[in-house]
C-alpha cells in the first residue's frame, strides 16, 4: 500500500526532501518505542554510527528521493513492478563484491527481469505513455536496496539488530534531511498532517515500520529462503492496491512484463545453503 499512498502524498506538490524528512521522523518515533519495549537502547559507537549512516543514505535518502520524484510521473502499480528488481540487482552486485558465485540459472533470471523493465520503458509497449527517463529513475530504488543488502552482508551491522539499525538510520537521516528540506524550500509544515496528502504520508510511514518489523520476525521464524517470497507479494499487492485505491489500469504489455519479473525473481532466489546461513 505504500506506493499508492506515496502517489497520493505527491499529488498536491509536496516535494521529496520534505516527504523524506517526515517519513524518517515517523519511523524513528516508532522504532524508539519498539526498541524501548525490547530494552535495547541505541549504541553510540563510531562503527554503529557508520552503519546507521550507510543505511540512512543507501536505504532511505537516495532511493526515496528517486521514488518520490518518479511517483509524480509513473503509476503506482508500475513502481511496484520496478521494485521487484531488488533480488535481481542483488545478484550481480554480490558477484562484484565476491559474496556469491556465478550461476547460469540466476543470470537467466536477471535477463528476464531486465526484459521486463525494457517492456515497461519501451515506447509503444503500453498505452500509458510512460517516460523512459522516469522509468529509469524508478529503478534507482531497487538498485539501492540491492546495494544495501550486500553492504550489510559484507560488513555486518556492528552488533546492532535490525530494529536498532532502522532506529539509528531514521534518527541520522532526519537530522540530515531537516536542513536540506528547509534550504531547498521543500519544508512541509506539521499542519499538513490534516490534509489528505499528509495523512497518506503518515499512513505509508506507519505501514512501512510495522511491515518491516513483521518481515524481520518472519526471517527469524521461517528463514530467509521463505521470507524472500515476499518480493512476489510486494509486487502483486502493489498492483492490486493501485487498482483499488487509484483505479489504475494496464495494457497487455505491462502484464507480460510483470510475468517476466516474477519468472526472474523465481530464478534469482538465494541458494538454499547461502540463504540459511546465520545473519
- The residue ranges of every structural domain in the chain are 2-269
Give dist(CA 160, CA 142) in Å, integer: 24
Residue 82's nearest CA partner among 29, 141, 20, 40 is: 141
Q: Quick check: helix, strand or coil at residue 4?
A: helix
Letter string b/e over residues 244-261, b meaning 16 or more CB atoms within 10 A of that residue's CB = ebbebebeebbebbbebb
Would the pTM of this model clear 0.85, i.e. be above it?
A: no
Give the per-residue pLDDT at 278: 42
pLDDT one-digit tens code per residue, 157-181: 888 888 888 899 999 999 999 999 9
Give pLDDT, residue 179.
96
Question: What is the structure's pLDDT at 226?
Answer: 61
pLDDT tens-digit map of 11-46: 888 889 999 999 999 989 988 998 999 898 888 889
49 CB contacts (<8 Å, ≥6 apart)? 168, 172
What's CA 261's distance to the chain center, in Å?
16
Mean pLDDT is lowest, of 117-121, 165-169, 201-205, for 117-121
Residue 273 clears pLDDT 60, i.e. is over it: no
pLDDT in tens, 48-83: 999 999 999 998 899 999 999 998 888 888 888 888
- The alpha carbons of the chain give a radius of gyration, in whole angstroms, of 18
Does the pLDDT at position 244 exceed 80? yes
Amino acid at each position: 500500500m505504500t506506493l499508492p499512498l506515496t502517489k497520493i502524498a505527491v499529488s498536491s506538490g509536496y516535494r521529496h526532501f520534505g516527504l523524506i524528512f517526515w517519513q524518517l521522523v515517523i519511523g524513528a518515533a516508532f522504532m524508539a518505542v519498539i526498541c524501548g519495549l525490547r530494552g535495547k537502547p541505541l549504541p553510540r559507537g563510531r562503527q554503529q554510527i557508520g552503519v546507521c549512516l550507510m543505511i540512512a543514505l543507501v536505504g532511505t535518502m537516495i532511493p526515496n528521493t528517486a521514488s518520490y520524484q518518479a511517483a509524480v510521473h509513473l503509476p503506482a502499480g508500475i513502481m511496484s513492478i520496478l521494485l521487484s528488481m531488488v533480488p535481481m540487482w542483488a545478484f550481480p552486485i554480490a558477484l562484484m563484491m565476491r559474496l556469491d558465485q556465478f550461476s547460469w540459472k540466476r543470470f537467466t533470471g536477471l535477463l528476464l527481469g531486465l526484459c521486463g523493465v525494457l517492456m515497461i520503458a519501451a515506447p509503444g509497449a503500453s498505452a500509458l505513455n510512460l517516460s523512459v527517463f522516469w522509468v529509469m529513475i524508478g529503478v534507482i530504488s531497487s538498485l539501492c536496496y540491492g546495494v544495501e543488502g550486500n553492504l550489510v552482508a559484507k560488513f555486518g551491522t556492528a552488533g546492532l539488530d535490525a530494529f536498532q539499525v532502522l532506529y539509528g538510520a531514521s534518527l541520522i537521516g532526519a537530522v540530515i534531511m531537516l536542513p536540506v528540506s528547509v534550504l531547498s524550500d521543500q519544508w512541509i509544515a506539521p499542519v499538513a498532517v490534516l490534509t489528505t496528502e499528509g495523512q497518506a504520508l503518515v499512513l505509508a510511514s506507519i505501514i512501512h515500520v510495522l511491515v518491516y518489523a513483521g518481515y524481520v520476525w518472519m526471517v527469524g521464524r521461517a528463514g530467509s529462503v521463505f521470507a524472500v517470497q515476499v518480493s512476489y507479494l510486494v509486487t502483486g499487492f502493489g498492483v492490486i492496491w493501485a487498482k483499488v485505491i487509484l483505479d489504475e489500469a494496464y495494457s497487455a504489455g505491462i502484464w507480460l512484463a510483470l510475468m517476466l519479473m516474477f519468472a526472474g525473481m523465481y530464478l534469482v532466489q538465494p541458494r538454499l545453503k547461502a540463504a540459511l546461513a546465520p545473519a
